[in-house]
Amino acid sequence: MGKDKDIREAVETEFSHDPLLDAAGITVRTFNGSVALIGTVASYLHYREAAETARCVPGVTRVHNHLEVVLPPQDRRDDAMLTAAANRAIAASTAVPEGVEATAKNGDLALTGAVKYLSQRAAAETAVSGLTGVRNVRDEIQVVIDADPADVNRHVRDALDSHLVPRDHRHVQARVSGNTVALGGRVRTQAEHDAVVAAAWRAYGVMAVIDELEITG
């Protein structure tokens, strides 16, 4: 019970210190290292930021983001206006290739099209996430090139480097078959887990990631 209380208080402290997040409407609940975020935020950026901040707190093993985006009246946009704004943002991004499109319905954006790299897919979501009027982003962009095992392993290695994991303490294996990457082995924290999974998704040609990683804590 004490550990869960400590984790909850640590997450709440991080929220209070995060200049990109208004956490007034967020309730944090914890159980055996898992964190549930409940309540409301005023933008999709706050929705994402809350989950990312919680994942980086020591002791957190899982984050369940149940937050609802409730837009202030002045931030609401009709479907045509938000669709146009999202497609302008995608077109303005040099990291997103032609053929990616956005469609809005009641503040929810659906992204469609095809890309060669997972990084291009992520760039499309990044391009629209901060737009006024966005409640949620559903990424349906397809990656159409087979995965490159060397590229997958480079991205995973870079993710572990970013979390300062010593080379003799690395226990992650990435197996590549076609467009699918299977991740196995052990990581220390939820943040490392999420970084490795995200890294695999960013690699060349990846369309599916099978997550069999164990978080040791």
Q: Determine which of 4-8, 36-40, 169-173, 183-187 has the lowest per-residue pLDDT on average.
A: 169-173
Per cent of the chain over pLDDT 90 is 68
Question: pTM for the complete prediction?
Answer: 0.64
Q: Which residue(s) pair with 137 in the sheet?
A: 109
Residues 137 and 82 in one domain: yes
Residues 157 and 188 in one domain: yes
Q: How many CB atoms lie within 10 A of CB 179?
A: 16
Q: For 57-79, what is the mean pLDDT?
A: 94
Residues 139 and 78 in one domain: yes
Give the CATH number, domain containing residue 32: 3.30.1340.30
Residues 138 and 161 in one domain: no
Q: Determine which of 12-16, 29-33, 64-68, 168-172 has the lowest per-residue pLDDT on average.
A: 168-172
Q: Which of 42, 69, 96 is the last residue of a domain?
A: 69
The HSE-up count of residue 38 (CA atoms within 13 Å, CB side) is 7
Mean per-residue pLDDT over the chain, rounded: 91
Q: Can you give the pLDDT at residue 206? A: 86
Residues 79 and 139 in one domain: yes
Residues 101 and 157 in one domain: no
Summarised one tens digit per residue, pLDDT across range 197-215 is: 999 998 877 888 999 999 9
Summarised one tens digit per residue, pLDDT across range 4-33 is: 889 999 999 999 998 889 899 999 999 998
Residues 54 and 115 in one domain: no
Q: How many CB atoms lie within 10 A of CB 1?
A: 7
Residues 120 and 170 in one domain: no
Contact 35, 29 (CB under 8 A): yes
Residues 53 and 108 in one domain: no
Give the CATH number, domain containing residue 197: 3.30.1340
State whether residue 99 is helix, strand or coil: coil
β strands within the chain, DSSP E: 26-31, 34-41, 62-65, 68-69, 101-105, 108-112, 114-115, 136-139, 142-143, 171-177, 180-187, 208-215
Q: How many CB atoms lie within 10 A of CB 75?
A: 16
Contact 8, 39 (CB under 8 A): no
Q: Which of 119, 143, 167 is the last residue of a domain?
A: 143
Structural domain boundaries, residue 57: 2-69
Residues 115 and 96 in one domain: yes
Band (160; pLDDT cuts 50, 70, 90): confident
Q: For 147-176, what is the mean pLDDT?
A: 85
Q: Which of 89, 116, 143 is the last residue of a domain?
A: 143
Residues 133 and 169 in one domain: no
Phi-psi region of 133 (alpha: psi -120 to 50; beta: other; left: phi over 0): left
Residue 49 phi, psi (nearest 5): -65, -40
User: Number of folded domains in the chain?
Assistant: 3
Residues 14 and 60 in one domain: yes
